Amino acid sequence: MRFIGSALVASAIVLGACSGGEKAPATDTAAPAAAPAVAATGTAAAITGTTHEVKMLGDEKGYRFEPKDLTIKAGDGIKFVFVSGGPHNVAFNAADLPADVVPQLDANFGADKMAELSSKMTMTAGETITISFANIKAGTYPYHCTPHLAMNMKGTITVQ
């Protein structure tokens, strides 16, 4: 029994010694990976038209934007107002937008931006998120609340 225990200890020491020491730096002969595609940064465009209000709600009727769908003119803005059931935000999916709209819309989040095409989170009633639709071409743009996407908190903004 003593021999087996000694053999195990000796084996552990030998294996530890063989695996230790400094390793030579790995050499990577492959070409460096391309950087992920990132939309060009636009310059925020100020609201030049009407500012519309959309409420962000979560209550016994569900999680929703009111109004859910809104038609505006280019140059208008939208002020999203937290009413209940947060946290809420406003986000767009780049895959649902024309590529040439992404940089401008992203920039138009201004100080309310948290990530690409996504606003900050609002946590208390009365907080707002304002997004300009200046320099945004005509089209229909789907949006959502990230924390409540699975609960179908979605809408569309149609720019004329």
**N-term to C-term CA, the chain:** 87
- Over the stretch 13-54, which tens digit does the pLDDT of each residue have? 444 444 444 544 444 444 444 333 334 457 999 999 999 999
pTM: 0.74
State the Cα–Cα distance between residues 98 and 75, nearest whole angstrom. Answer: 18
Per-residue pLDDT, averaged over 81-93, amounts to: 97
The dihedral sign for the CA sequence 64, 66, 70, 75: negative
Determine the pLDDT at residue 31: 43
Domains along the chain with CATH numbers? 51-159 (2.60.40.420)
Per-residue pLDDT, averaged over 81-100, amounts to: 97
- Over the stretch 92-137, which tens digit does the pLDDT of each residue have? 999 999 999 999 999 999 999 999 999 999 999 999 999 999 999 9
Neighbour tally for 99: CB within 10 Å: 11
State the Cα–Cα distance between residues 104 and 116, nearest whole angstrom. Answer: 11
Q: Please, are residues 15 and 21 in contact by the beta-carbon 8 Å criterion?
A: no
